[in-house]
Structure 1
Amino acid sequence: MAEVKKRLLMDKEAPNRSTKIVNGRSSNILNWDDVQFNWAYPKYKKMLGNFWTPFEINMSNDIKQFPQLTADEKQAFKKIIGLLALLDSIQTDYAGRIADYLTDSSLNALMIILAQQEVIHNHSYSYILSSLVSKDEQDEVFDFWRTEPVLEKRNDFVIKGYKQFAEEPTVEHMLDSIVYDVILEGLFFYSGFSFFYHLARNQKMVATSTMINYINRDEQLHVDLFVKIYKELLEEYPEYDTPERARKVEAIFREAAELEIEWGREVIGDKIDGLDSEDVEDYIYFYANVRCAQLGYERPFEGYRKNPMKWIKAYEDVDLGKTDFFEQRSRQYVKVNVQDNGFDEL
C-alpha cells in the first residue's frame, strides 16, 4: 500500500502551488491566487462566512422551557448532546491529523478552519448544558459515551476507521478514514438533529435548535470538503478506484445506517410525542444514500430517494448568513451581550 508522507514545514525548491494532493511538493507558502484546486478559495470564503459563536444566542427562553419538557424529552435531549460532544471532539483531532498529510497549503488552511469550527461546536454543547443543568449533571452528560452500550458501538465504529489511518497512514487508509468522516459529519448527527428540529417546530428549545442549525450548516460544508478531497485522491491514485472499494464503501454505509437507527430507537423510539420513529429511520436510510452517492458510489438502500421528513427542510436549509437572527413563527432569535446570556430577562 502506498504510504502518505507528512507535508514539509518549508521546501525552498518547491513551487507554492502544490504538485499533488498528497505525497507531492509545495513550498508550503500559501498564496490563495496560486493554489492547485480551484474550489479551495470559494470553500474558504464560505467557511469564513459561516462564522458564529454560542455567545450570540439568547438562552433565556430555553432556560424557562427545559423544566417543562417531558422526562423522555429531557433524557433524549441530554443523551444526544452527550453524543454530539463526543463526535465533535474526535473530529477536531482527526482534522488536525489528516491536515499534516495534505501537500497543498490551502487544504491545510481549510482543515484548520474546520477544526476551529468543531471546537465551537463543542463549546456550544457546554454552553447549552451550563445554561440548563447543574455542573454535576453536565459532567454526567459528557460521560455518557463511557456508559451507554449503544453509543459505545457507534463510537467504536468511527474510531476504528480513524485509528487505522492515524497508526498506518497510507492512501487506502486515508480514503477509508474519509468515508468514516462523511458518516460522522453527514449521517451520525442526523437522528439527533431531527429531535431538536422537532422540538423547535413545536416552539420548544428554539435557541438550542438555532445552534444545532448552525452546526448542521457547518457539517454540510465539512462533508462537501472531504468529498472533494476523496475524489481528488482517487484522481491521483486511480488504482484505488475499484469495484472492490465501491462494495466496501457501500457496506460501511449499510453498517453505519443500522448503528444510527439503533441509536435513534434508543433515544427517540416511540417516546417523543409527534416524532415518528419509522420516519426517523427512513430519514437515516435516505441520508445514507445521499452521502454514499456524494462519494460516487451506488446507493446502499433500494428506494429512499426522497426525504421522508419534508418539514425538516425548513430547518436544514436555513441560511442565516451574517445578519441578525430573523424571526418566524417557531423561532425568535435575539443577539445578546456576551456577558449576560439572557439571564437578565429571566
Structure 2
Amino acid sequence: MAYTLNKRDIMDKTAPNNSTKIINGRSSNILNWDDVRFSWAYPKYKKMLANFWTPFEINMSQDIKQYPNLPDEEKDAFLKIIGLLALLDSIQTDYAGKVADYLTDSSLNALMIILAQQEVIHNHSYSYVLSSLVSKQKQDEVFEFWRTEPILEKRNDFITDGYRAFAEDATVDNLLKSVVFDVILEGLFFYSGFAFFYHLARNQKMVATSTMINYINRDEQLHVDLFVRIYKEVLNEYPDHDTEELTQFVYDTFREAVQLEIDWARHIIGNKIDGILLQEVEDYIKFYANTRCKQLGYEKIYPEITKNPLRWIKAYEEVDLGKSDFFEQKSRQYTKVNFTDNGFDDL
C-alpha cells in the first residue's frame, strides 16, 4: 500500500512532545531533548555539533604555491572532482529539507537542519578552495561541469531522479527509495573523489584541500548513519514495506551506482594519475557498496570483495581530529582559531 506522507504541523497543542511515530504521527513540534522518541537522536546531535568547522579555518597558502606545479592530469582531476562534489552537496541541502518536512519527530527535524547546514559549509568549501587557486572564470567553469560533462551528467541524473520521485510524490515507498539514493550519494559517490585527494596528501600535495576533504568525509559518515537509522525506523513502523521488491530495488540500485562510479573513476583517474591503480579504486568502490548495503541491513552485493584494497586510506578516513594530525603526525586539539591568523599549524 502506498501510504501518503503528511507534513509535520508547525505546532499541535493537543499532541505530546514525544512523537507518536517517525512519520505520519503526532507531535507538538516542541523540542525537548529529554523527551524525544529515539534514544540515539541526542548522541547524534552532540556528535554533529562536535564536528562543526568552517572553510575559513584552513590556511590555503601552501596549496596556492603547489597547485601551479601539479601535472596537468592532476589539475584536471582536481577541478572536475570539485565540480562533482559541488553539485551533489547542493542538491543534498535541498533534499534534507524536504525529508525534514515529513519527519514527525522534532529531534529528527533538528538533526536534518544541522545536516543541511553542514552541506552548505561543504559547498562553501569548494568555492573557498577554487577562489584560492584559480581565476573567477575558471571557478565559474568548474561550477558548470555538471552541465558539460556527459559522464558527470549521467550519474547526477541518477541521484536527482531518485530524489525528484520523492519530492513530487511523498509516499513511504518513495521516502525509503530516496534514502537509498542518499546513502549512495553520501556514502559511495564521493569516495573515489576522496581517494584522489587523499592520494595527493599522501604525496604531500595539496594538504590543506585534503584536510578540508577529510572534514567533509567525516561529516558524510555521520549523515549516512543518520539516514540509515531513519530508514530502519521507517521499516520498523511500516513492516509491510520491508518486501522482496524493496530488497531487489536496493541491490539493483547499488549495482547501477557502482557502475556509474566506476565509469567516472575510469574517466577522471584512469591510468593517468601516477601512483593510483584503477583496479584498486574499482574494488574500493565495490567495498564501500558492500559496506553501505550491510549498514542498511542487506547482504553484500560483491561477496568476493572482503577487504578494503586501499589499505593506506584508512589513516585518512578515520582521523580523530582531537587526537592526531595525519598529515603532520603530531598531537593536536580541534579548537577554533583567529580567522585573521589562521595558520594550519594552529588548528
Scaled to the shorter chain, the TM-score interval is over 0.9
* Structure 1 residue 243, shift from structure 2 partner: 1.6
2:201 and 2:327 in contact (8 A); partners too: no
Question: Match of 2:328?
Answer: 328
* Structure 1 residue 338, shift from structure 2 partner: 2.2
Describe the SS at the equivalent of 1:249: helix
* Structure 1 residue 341, shift from structure 2 partner: 6.5
Q: Which runs of 4+ in 1 moved over 3 A?
A: 323-327, 329-337, 339-343
CA distance in 1, matches of 2:183, 2:216: 15
CA distance in 2, matches of 1:329, 1:126: 28
* Structure 1 residue 215, shift from structure 2 partner: 0.2
Counterpart AA for 1:124 = S
Question: Match of 2:177?
Answer: 176
With normalisation by structure 1, the TM-score equals: 0.95
Deviates more, 1:207-216 or 1:325-334: 325-334
Counterpart AA for 2:161 = K
1:22 and 1:102 in contact (8 A); partners too: yes
CA distance in 1, matches of 2:313, 2:260: 22
Question: Match of 2:51?
Answer: 50
CA distance in 1, matches of 2:122, 2:50: 16
Map 1:201-216 → 2, pairs under 5 A: 201-216=202-217
Deviates more, 1:301-310 or 1:122-131: 301-310
2:319 and 2:326 in contact (8 A); partners too: no
2:60 and 2:132 in contact (8 A); partners too: yes
Map 1:16-95 → 2, pairs under 5 A: 16-95=17-96
CA distance in 2, matches of 1:336, 1:27: 40
1:57 and 1:336 in contact (8 A); partners too: no
1:19 and 1:26 in contact (8 A); partners too: yes
CA distance in 2, matches of 1:72, 1:334: 36
Change (3 A) 1:212 1:330: farther
> What CA deviation, in whole Å up to 9, does each residue of 1:42-74 have, x standing for no partner?
000000000001111110000000011000000
1:188 and 1:260 in contact (8 A); partners too: yes
CA distance in 1, matches of 2:279, 2:44: 35
* Structure 1 residue 302, shift from structure 2 partner: 2.7
1:324 and 1:335 in contact (8 A); partners too: no
Counterpart AA for 1:328 = E
* Structure 1 residue 339, shift from structure 2 partner: 4.0
1:58 and 1:334 in contact (8 A); partners too: no
2:315 and 2:326 in contact (8 A); partners too: no
Question: Match of 2:122?
Answer: 121
Counterpart AA for 2:111 = L
1:60 and 1:341 in contact (8 A); partners too: no
Change (3 A) 1:27 1:36: same
Question: Match of 2:5?
Answer: 4
What are structure 1's unaligned runs of at least 5 residues?
Answer: none
2:6 and 2:24 in contact (8 A); partners too: yes
CA distance in 2, matches of 1:326, 1:249: 35
Map 1:292-311 → 2, pairs under 5 A: 292-311=293-312
With normalisation by structure 2, the TM-score equals: 0.95
Q: CA-atom RMSD, angstroms? A: 2.0
Change (3 A) 1:335 1:197: farther
Change (3 A) 1:200 1:327: closer
Question: Match of 1:106?
Answer: 107
Counterpart AA for 2:12 = D
Question: Match of 1:188?
Answer: 189
Identity among equivalent positions (%) equals: 73
Flag the structure with more relative contact order, 1 or 2, with Cα contacts below 8 A and sequence separation at least 6. 1
* Structure 1 residue 335, shift from structure 2 partner: 7.8
CA distance in 1, matches of 2:300, 2:244: 14
What are structure 2's unaligned runs of at least 5 residues?
Answer: none
